[in-house]
Protein backbone atom coordinates (compact mmCIF):
# COMPACT_ATOMS: atom_id res chain seq x y z
CA UNK A 1 0.00 0.00 0.00
CA UNK A 2 2.77 2.41 0.97
CA UNK A 3 4.82 1.50 -2.09
CA UNK A 4 1.80 2.03 -4.35
CA UNK A 5 1.14 5.43 -2.79
CA UNK A 6 4.75 6.48 -3.30
CA UNK A 7 4.67 5.35 -6.92
CA UNK A 8 1.46 7.30 -7.51
CA UNK A 9 2.93 10.40 -5.86
CA UNK A 10 6.08 10.09 -7.95
CA UNK A 11 4.04 9.75 -11.14
CA UNK A 12 1.96 12.83 -10.28
CA UNK A 13 5.10 14.84 -9.51
CA UNK A 14 6.69 13.72 -12.77
CA UNK A 15 3.61 14.74 -14.76
CA UNK A 16 3.58 18.14 -13.05
CA UNK A 17 7.28 18.63 -13.81
CA UNK A 18 6.82 17.66 -17.46
CA UNK A 19 3.83 19.98 -17.83
CA UNK A 20 5.80 22.85 -16.30
CA UNK A 21 8.76 22.10 -18.60
CA UNK A 22 6.54 22.05 -21.69
CA UNK A 23 4.85 25.29 -20.68
CA UNK A 24 8.22 26.99 -20.19
CA UNK A 25 9.43 25.74 -23.56
CA UNK A 26 6.23 26.93 -25.27
CA UNK A 27 6.53 30.32 -23.59
CA UNK A 28 10.15 30.63 -24.71
CA UNK A 29 9.25 29.81 -28.31
CA UNK A 30 6.49 32.42 -28.27
CA UNK A 31 8.83 34.96 -26.72
CA UNK A 32 11.45 34.34 -29.42
CA UNK A 33 8.84 34.71 -32.15
CA UNK A 34 7.31 37.90 -30.76
CA UNK A 35 10.79 39.29 -30.11
CA UNK A 36 11.62 39.03 -33.83
CA UNK A 37 8.42 40.79 -34.83
CA UNK A 38 8.87 43.40 -32.11
CA UNK A 39 12.33 44.28 -33.42
CA UNK A 40 10.95 44.50 -36.96
CA UNK A 41 8.10 46.72 -35.77
CA UNK A 42 10.49 48.99 -33.87
CA UNK A 43 12.70 49.36 -36.94
CA UNK A 44 9.79 50.12 -39.27
CA UNK A 45 8.29 52.58 -36.79
CA UNK A 46 11.61 54.44 -36.52
CA UNK A 47 11.85 54.59 -40.30
CA UNK A 48 8.33 55.97 -40.66
CA UNK A 49 8.84 58.47 -37.84
CA UNK A 50 11.94 59.77 -39.60
CA UNK A 51 10.02 60.13 -42.86
CA UNK A 52 7.26 62.07 -41.11
CA UNK A 53 9.78 64.34 -39.40
CA UNK A 54 11.53 65.02 -42.71
CA UNK A 55 8.17 65.96 -44.21
CA UNK A 56 7.40 68.37 -41.37
CA UNK A 57 7.39 71.45 -43.73
CA UNK A 58 4.08 70.08 -45.03
CA UNK A 59 2.55 71.61 -41.90
CA UNK A 60 2.84 74.97 -43.67
CA UNK A 61 0.80 73.93 -46.71
CA UNK A 62 -2.53 74.09 -44.92
CA UNK A 63 -5.70 72.69 -46.40
CA UNK A 64 -4.02 71.44 -49.59
CA UNK A 65 -2.48 68.49 -47.76
CA UNK A 66 -4.21 68.79 -44.40
CA UNK A 67 -6.43 65.69 -44.46
CA UNK A 68 -3.83 63.20 -45.68
CA UNK A 69 -0.96 64.81 -43.76
CA UNK A 70 -3.03 64.67 -40.57
CA UNK A 71 -3.84 61.02 -41.32
CA UNK A 72 -0.13 60.22 -41.63
CA UNK A 73 0.68 61.85 -38.30
CA UNK A 74 -2.28 60.15 -36.62
CA UNK A 75 -1.13 56.77 -37.95
CA UNK A 76 2.32 57.38 -36.47
CA UNK A 77 0.74 58.10 -33.10
CA UNK A 78 -1.36 54.91 -33.25
CA UNK A 79 1.69 52.83 -34.16
CA UNK A 80 3.66 54.29 -31.26
CA UNK A 81 0.82 53.58 -28.84
CA UNK A 82 0.43 50.00 -30.09
CA UNK A 83 4.15 49.31 -29.70
CA UNK A 84 4.08 50.69 -26.17
CA UNK A 85 1.13 48.46 -25.31
CA UNK A 86 2.92 45.41 -26.74
CA UNK A 87 5.61 45.74 -24.07
CA UNK A 88 3.16 44.98 -21.25
CA UNK A 89 0.25 43.30 -23.02
CA UNK A 90 -0.69 39.69 -22.17
CA UNK A 91 -1.40 39.40 -25.91
CA UNK A 92 1.63 41.07 -27.52
CA UNK A 93 0.93 39.50 -30.91
CA UNK A 94 -2.28 41.49 -31.37
CA UNK A 95 -0.55 44.71 -30.33
CA UNK A 96 2.34 44.14 -32.73
CA UNK A 97 -0.08 43.52 -35.59
CA UNK A 98 -1.67 46.88 -34.83
CA UNK A 99 1.72 48.59 -35.10
CA UNK A 100 2.21 47.62 -38.73
CA UNK A 101 -1.49 48.00 -39.49
CA UNK A 102 -1.14 51.65 -38.49
CA UNK A 103 2.15 52.00 -40.39
CA UNK A 104 0.53 50.71 -43.58
CA UNK A 105 -2.19 53.34 -43.24
CA UNK A 106 0.44 55.98 -42.58
CA UNK A 107 2.49 55.02 -45.62
CA UNK A 108 -0.64 55.18 -47.75
CA UNK A 109 -1.46 58.66 -46.41
CA UNK A 110 2.07 59.92 -47.12
CA UNK A 111 1.85 58.52 -50.65
CA UNK A 112 -1.39 60.45 -51.21
CA UNK A 113 0.28 63.64 -49.99
CA UNK A 114 3.22 63.13 -52.34
CA UNK A 115 0.92 62.38 -55.26
CA UNK A 116 -1.03 65.58 -54.69
CA UNK A 117 2.16 67.62 -54.45
CA UNK A 118 3.31 66.56 -57.93
CA UNK A 119 -0.12 66.57 -59.50
CA UNK A 120 -0.54 62.81 -59.78
CA UNK A 121 -3.78 60.98 -59.13
CA UNK A 122 -3.61 59.37 -55.67
CA UNK A 123 -4.42 55.67 -55.63
CA UNK A 124 -4.95 53.14 -52.89
CA UNK A 125 -3.06 49.87 -53.38
CA UNK A 126 -1.56 47.07 -51.29
CA UNK A 127 1.93 47.75 -49.96
CA UNK A 128 4.93 46.48 -51.87
CA UNK A 129 5.05 42.76 -51.14
CA UNK A 130 8.82 42.62 -50.92
CA UNK A 131 9.13 45.44 -48.41
CA UNK A 132 5.97 47.24 -47.23
CA UNK A 133 8.14 50.17 -46.13
CA UNK A 134 8.44 50.99 -49.84
CA UNK A 135 4.85 52.21 -49.58
CA UNK A 136 1.80 51.38 -51.69
CA UNK A 137 2.58 49.29 -54.75
CA UNK A 138 2.54 50.97 -58.15
CA UNK A 139 2.03 47.81 -60.20
CA UNK A 140 2.18 44.02 -60.03
CA UNK A 141 4.99 41.70 -61.02
CA UNK A 142 5.37 38.03 -61.83
CA UNK A 143 7.92 36.55 -59.44
CA UNK A 144 9.29 33.09 -58.69
CA UNK A 145 9.52 32.08 -55.04
CA UNK A 146 12.40 30.05 -53.57
CA UNK A 147 10.44 26.81 -54.06
CA UNK A 148 9.79 27.58 -57.73
CA UNK A 149 6.22 28.81 -57.39
CA UNK A 150 5.31 31.49 -59.90
CA UNK A 151 3.12 34.20 -58.37
CA UNK A 152 1.97 37.71 -59.17
CA UNK A 153 2.38 40.13 -56.30
CA UNK A 154 2.06 43.89 -55.76
CA UNK A 155 5.35 45.75 -56.06
CA UNK A 156 6.91 49.17 -56.07
CA UNK A 157 8.45 50.30 -59.35
CA UNK A 158 12.06 49.93 -58.15
CA UNK A 159 11.62 46.26 -57.26
CA UNK A 160 9.93 45.56 -60.58
CA UNK A 161 12.95 46.97 -62.40
CA UNK A 162 15.31 44.86 -60.29
CA UNK A 163 13.35 41.67 -61.01
CA UNK A 164 13.16 42.45 -64.72
CA UNK A 165 16.94 42.94 -64.77
CA UNK A 166 17.49 39.55 -63.11
CA UNK A 167 18.32 40.89 -59.65
CA UNK A 168 16.56 40.19 -56.36
CA UNK A 169 14.11 42.78 -55.08
CA UNK A 170 15.04 44.82 -52.01
CA UNK A 171 13.18 42.50 -49.66
CA UNK A 172 12.55 43.07 -45.97
CA UNK A 173 14.32 40.57 -43.72
CA UNK A 174 13.32 39.32 -40.26
CA UNK A 175 15.62 37.81 -37.65
CA UNK A 176 15.27 34.07 -37.10
CA UNK A 177 17.77 32.83 -34.53
CA UNK A 178 21.15 33.92 -35.92
CA UNK A 179 19.89 34.41 -39.47
CA UNK A 180 18.09 37.15 -41.33
CA UNK A 181 15.55 35.77 -43.78
CA UNK A 182 13.11 37.34 -46.23
CA UNK A 183 10.00 37.98 -44.17
CA UNK A 184 7.92 35.42 -46.07
CA UNK A 185 10.43 32.72 -45.07
CA UNK A 186 10.52 33.74 -41.41
CA UNK A 187 7.35 31.84 -40.47
CA UNK A 188 5.94 32.58 -37.03
CA UNK A 189 8.87 34.86 -36.22
CA UNK A 190 7.57 37.45 -38.64
CA UNK A 191 3.87 36.66 -38.48
CA UNK A 192 2.60 39.54 -36.28
CA UNK A 193 4.69 42.02 -38.24
CA UNK A 194 3.48 40.71 -41.62
CA UNK A 195 -0.21 40.35 -40.82
CA UNK A 196 -0.51 43.96 -39.76
CA UNK A 197 1.00 45.26 -42.97
CA UNK A 198 -1.41 43.27 -45.16
CA UNK A 199 -4.51 43.08 -42.95
CA UNK A 200 -6.37 45.84 -44.81
CA UNK A 201 -5.98 43.91 -48.07
CA UNK A 202 -7.29 40.53 -46.97
CA UNK A 203 -10.01 40.56 -49.66
CA UNK A 204 -7.84 41.95 -52.45
CA UNK A 205 -7.67 39.80 -55.63
CA UNK A 206 -3.90 39.43 -55.23
CA UNK A 207 -4.13 38.08 -51.69
CA UNK A 208 -4.37 34.47 -52.91
CA UNK A 209 -1.05 34.89 -54.73
CA UNK A 210 0.51 36.59 -51.72
CA UNK A 211 -0.61 33.73 -49.48
CA UNK A 212 1.04 31.30 -51.91
CA UNK A 213 4.30 33.17 -51.52
CA UNK A 214 3.84 33.84 -47.79
CA UNK A 215 1.59 31.21 -46.16
CA UNK A 216 1.79 33.08 -42.85
CA UNK A 217 -0.71 35.58 -44.28
CA UNK A 218 -3.36 32.85 -44.44
CA UNK A 219 -4.29 33.08 -40.76
CA UNK A 220 -7.68 34.62 -39.92
CA UNK A 221 -6.05 37.04 -37.47
CA UNK A 222 -5.04 39.20 -40.42
CA UNK A 223 -8.70 39.94 -41.04
CA UNK A 224 -9.42 40.74 -37.41
CA UNK A 225 -6.77 43.44 -37.06
CA UNK A 226 -8.67 45.88 -39.27
CA UNK A 227 -11.80 45.35 -37.20
CA UNK A 228 -10.06 45.95 -33.89
CA UNK A 229 -7.79 48.84 -34.88
Structural domain range at position 112: 32-228
Residue 219 pLDDT: 62
Residue 35 pLDDT: 87
Residue 182: pLDDT above 50? yes
Residue 63: pLDDT above 60? yes
**Has residue 151 been placed in a domain?**
yes
**Has residue 8 been placed in a domain?**
no
**Has residue 173 been placed in a domain?**
yes
Residue 195: pLDDT above 70? yes
Percent of the chain with pLDDT over 70: 78
Number of domains the chain is built from = 1
**Has residue 9 been placed in a domain?**
no
Helix (H) or strand (E) holding 13: helix 2-54
Residue 203 pLDDT: 92
Q: Answer yes or no: are the C-beta atoms of 192 and 34 closer than 8 Å.
A: yes
Q: Is 213 exposed, middle or buried (0-12, 13-18, 19+ CB in 10 A)?
A: buried
Residue 8: pLDDT above 70? no
Query: How far is CA 99 from each of CA 10, 80, 124, 132, 150, rounded to the nearest angstrom?
Result: 47, 7, 20, 13, 30
Tens digit of each residue's pLDDT (9 = 90 or more) over 86-130: 988 777 888 999 999 999 999 999 999 888 888 888 889 999 999
**Has residue 193 been placed in a domain?**
yes
Residue 30 pLDDT: 45
> Can you give the pTM of this predicted structure?
0.82
**Has residue 200 been placed in a domain?**
yes
Residue 211: pLDDT above 80? yes
**Has residue 3 been placed in a domain?**
no
**Has residue 27 been placed in a domain?**
no
Query: How far is CA 195 from each of CA 4, 15, 27, 59, 98, rounded to the nearest angstrom?
Result: 53, 37, 21, 31, 9
Amino acid sequence: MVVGGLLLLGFVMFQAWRHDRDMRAEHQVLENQTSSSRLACESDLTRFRNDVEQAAPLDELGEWVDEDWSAAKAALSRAEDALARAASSPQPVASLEKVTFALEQGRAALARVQANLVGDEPHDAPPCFFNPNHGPSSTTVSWTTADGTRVRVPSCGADVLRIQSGADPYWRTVAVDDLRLPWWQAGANGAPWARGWFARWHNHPLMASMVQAAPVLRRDEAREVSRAA
